[in-house]
Amino acid sequence: MVAKLTKGFWAKTARIILRNRILILLGVAAVTVFLGMQWKNMQFSNSPANLLPDDHPVNQEYRSFLSQFGEEGNAVVFAVRDSALFSPTNFNRWNKFSKQLGAFPEVDFVLSVDNLQELIKDSDKQEFVMQPLLKKQPETLQEVDSIVQYLFNNLPFYDNLIYNKKSSTIRTVMYMDKDIINTSVRKDFVLKDMMRLVNSFEKETGLDVRISGMPYVRTMNSQNIIDEIGKFILAALGVTSIIFFFFFRSVRATFISMFVVIIGVMWAFGVLGLLQYEITVLTALIPPLIIVIGIPNCIFLINKYQQEVKKHGNQALSLQRVISKIGNATLMTNVTTASGFATFIITDSKLLKEFGIVASINIIGIFILSLLIIPIVYSFMSLPKTKHLKHLNKKWIDAFVSWMEGIVRKQRISVYIISIALLVLSIIGIYQIDISGSPIEDMPKNADFFKDIRFFEEEFDGIMPVEIVIDTKNPKGVLKPATLKRMDRLGQVVDETPELSKPVSIVNLVKYSKQAFYNGIPKYYQLPTSQENTFIMDVARKSSDNGDLLKSFVDSTGQTARMTTFMRDVKTERMEEIERSLLENITKIFPEERYNVYMTGSALIFLKGTKYLVKNLVMSLALAIGLIALFMAYLFRSFRMIIISLIPNLLPLLVTAGVMGFVGVPIKPSTILVFSIAFGISVDDTIHFLAKYRQELTASKWRIEKSVYAALRETGVSMFYTSIVLFFGFSVFVISNFGGTVALGALVSATLLFAMLANLILLPSLLISLERSISNKTVLKKPQIDILPKEEDLD
């Protein structure tokens, strides 16, 4: 009954499409224009990727930190490691550069040699006052040298903040307005005004300015992503169109297919704008994904049209059959693919939800576009010429299909042995796979900003902020001697960790206060003793500048303090070891009944977010497999058929995961999507093959072996075409500057190629080997839905 309704539905659909061609094309144009108008609402994400849900404890701690101390990643640092900087001309030009930065409204303040303040004791008033290090502009080399040596030897408070004594590197720290740090204003300022000043300084002095800091790194990385989206959409279109033309030898078939996927890409951007979602590291993948999904639709529809034309030469009947026969199968494949991506919607991650919603909507959208545009456009054209149909009789394609058929006929045992061997090796490789929680691992290694990251890791021990928050549970508890001593002990632990920079906290300021109390003698840069503490802290409390200095380190109540350090780019396992070590020391140093201490910061947020993403994507993939298994059960009503259909789709995923383990490609946000994309697409091949196989079963009166070979010959060509197009389409991503994009392209390409072989060799082999097991009344019942209606007799 359902099968008859389905057949009637598609016959009616075909009539509606072909009888209302102009109206439908106008409708498509109207929708495209409407979605094109939504592009103005489309914007790239200005916030760091937060993969955790809003109610996750780690996120709650991070928001609590931000509410107390404000945005932690608002510093941009500039450094010069060159003795030529210490000439009077260059030194004064460096100071002028700092003043110019501070003049912009987007900048809160700038800390540099130019405005460096020295803490000194006013003996008359018995208070600390801030005094500028630079009393006047130096005019001679001796004056510059005197200033620099005094800075290096007498002001340890600024060590690792303004200077590195070992290499004589000097740096300027620019703190951007926290209100604009996650807006487009940041991007415009960094790329235009800031870089203009840097270029001007470099041109005048000949010095190389190194730049880093999270606002700069995020801006440059986002700009690279923006540049590459367009580049890879064009590259994917170019490569797939060339391969498509090579197979079909038809300019118009190629043009029509490219026209369909280009509109699909326009719709994808329009949906992003309509829903007002930001373009993130995940949603940026959707436009090329639409090309990936759209091209197979075009191949199956155009290939069927040309087969029908070659068979009987009746254009109207050919177009009607394209819609009624291939429409249902294409709908099923697109629905299963969209369902796989729709499973992300149930996760708690906002990033994943938005990706799942936009991807699933646009996959259905590209199916609708393919089904409407291709038959309608061909209906206005003349019949394909004989030369355009020659690809249907290519000897090398026939040889390829015959080769596969020969393997299935004669070497099934070898197929199973190879499959089992691959499975065992893959499991071994999976145990070696790593998870990467580094926010900079995927960044382009050859970009100047990435080289600068390495420079700052070498000079100042890292750029990724890690914050330790100490809640004393009592107002003004931070300045108690016991708390300061505990913080100093923890600071020593941090300083002794090679991957972490020297920490900065209220402890540094208190040590500086003691040094100032003893007339600036460097050896007194230490915490006050119990006897000294009372009168030194009394002097500090009287100081008018003390409140401003404390704001950076302590909250307004004096109850909570922060300790800031910076982490190098390290492997995830090492990052977790560092976190465990610090937490163990925190537990020892700060009793839980008296202190509440936690770690946060963008580096840890990204690590936790990546692990959370991996867990969610594994769950989503499992759900997708479950949904598709239910779909197969509904179609074939046989547990054995479910297992048989899933094996050739799961094996390529396991092999890919094993390869990642062996070659050292870690699991991270960019590579985890390989499995969802590849599984969603490879299942399409299985559905096409099994649909044809079911049709042949009816025609051959349930002779399984004959039906398998007939289905292999019929679907082998289209599956080969789509897999090759997809292989080369995804391969263009290996020219990316981003490691994650390269890995994504290479892994998806390889997975889809292997999935094609599994569906054309392993799947038929299993069907034949298990002939007796699946030849029963349950399996051979008429399916709930005829994906491919049986051939009608020609009048």
pLDDT at 297: 83
Least confident of 325-329, 484-488, 493-497, 779-783: 779-783
What count of residues does the chain have?
A: 795
d(CA 309, CA 385): 10
Mean pLDDT on 635-642: 72
Query: CB neighbours (10 Å) of residue 414?
Result: 11
Q: Would the pLDDT of 486 be above 80?
A: yes
Q: Is the pLDDT of residue 1 over 60?
A: no
Give the number of other Cβ atoms within 10 Å of residue 301's Cβ: 26
> Model confidence over 160-197: pLDDT tens digits?
888 888 888 888 888 888 788 777 788 888 888 899 99
Which residues have C-beta within 8 Å of that of residue 10, sequence separation ≥ 6?
A: 323, 324, 325, 327, 328, 789
Pick 685 or 203 by higher pLDDT.
203
Cα angle for residues 460, 466, 468 (degrees, 5° grid): 125
Least confident of 220-224, 633-637, 664-668: 633-637
For residue range 711-756, what is the model confidence (pLDDT) as tens digits?
887 777 777 877 887 788 778 778 777 777 788 788 888 888 888 8
* pLDDT the model gives residue 792: 44
Share of the chain above pLDDT 90, in %: 9
Domains of the chain: 2-48+220-431+606-780 (1.20.1640.10)
CB 337 within 8 A of CB 360: no
Task: Give me 206's structure tokens.
Answer: 């000949």
Q: What is the mean pLDDT of residues 328-340?
A: 78
Mean pLDDT in the chain?
Answer: 80
pLDDT reported for residue 199: 92
pLDDT (tens digit, 9 = 90+) per residue, 262-273?
999 999 999 998
DSSP β-bridge partners for residue 424: none
Beta bridge partners of 283: none
**225-253 tens-digit pLDDT:** 777 777 777 887 888 788 777 777 778 88
Q: Which two tokens stand for residue 2?
A: 């359902």
Q: φ and ψ at 566, to 5 degrees?
A: -125, 140
pLDDT at 565 over 90: no
Question: Are the C-beta atoms of 464 and 566 separated by less than 8 Å?
Answer: yes
pLDDT of residue 159 exceeding 90? no
The rounded distance, in Å, linking the Cα atoms of 447 and 735 is 14
Residue 452 corresponds to which tokens in the numbers above?
């600068």
The string of DSSP letters for 100-153 reads HHHTSTTEEEEESGGG-EEEEEETTTTEEEEEES-SS---SHHHHHHHHHHHHH
Question: Which tops the pLDDT comparison, 269 or 576?
Answer: 269
Higher pLDDT, 218 or 582: 582
CB 340 within 8 A of CB 679: yes
Ranked by mean pLDDT, the top range of 68-72, 390-394, 636-640, 660-664 is 660-664
**Structural element, H or E, at residue 245:** helix 214-248
DSSP secondary structure string for all residues of 564-615: EEEE----HHHHHHHHHHHHHHHHHHS-TTT-EEEEESHHHHHHHHHHHHHH
547 pLDDT band, cuts 50/70/90, is very low
pLDDT at 544: 46
pLDDT digits (tens, 9 = 90+) for 274-289: 988 877 767 777 887 7
Indicate whether 313 pLDDT > 80.
no
Q: Which pLDDT does position 50 carry in this prediction? A: 66
- Specify the DSSP class assigned to residue 543: -
Write down the pLDDT at residue 686: 80
Q: What is the model's pLDDT at position 794?
A: 35
Token pair for 779 = 């399996």
Tell me: pLDDT of 3 over 60.
Answer: no
* CA–CA distance, 314 with 308 (Å, rounded to integer): 8
- Residue 395, classified by CB atoms within 10 Å of its CB into exposed (0-12), middle (13-18) or buried (19+), is exposed
pLDDT confidence of residue 7: 62
Top pLDDT among 539 and 59 is at 59
Higher per-residue confidence, 224 vs 144: 144
pLDDT at 634 over 60: yes
- The answer to whether the CB of 608 falls within 8 A of the CB of 664 is no
Say whether pLDDT at 786 is over 60: no
Q: How far apart are CA 39 and CA 193, in angstroms?
A: 27
Q: How confident is the model at residue 424 (pLDDT cuts 50, 70, 90)?
A: very high
How many whole angstroms separate alpha carbon 128 and alpha carbon 657?
62
Tell which wins on pLDDT, 294 or 627.
294
- The per-residue pLDDT for 366 is 92
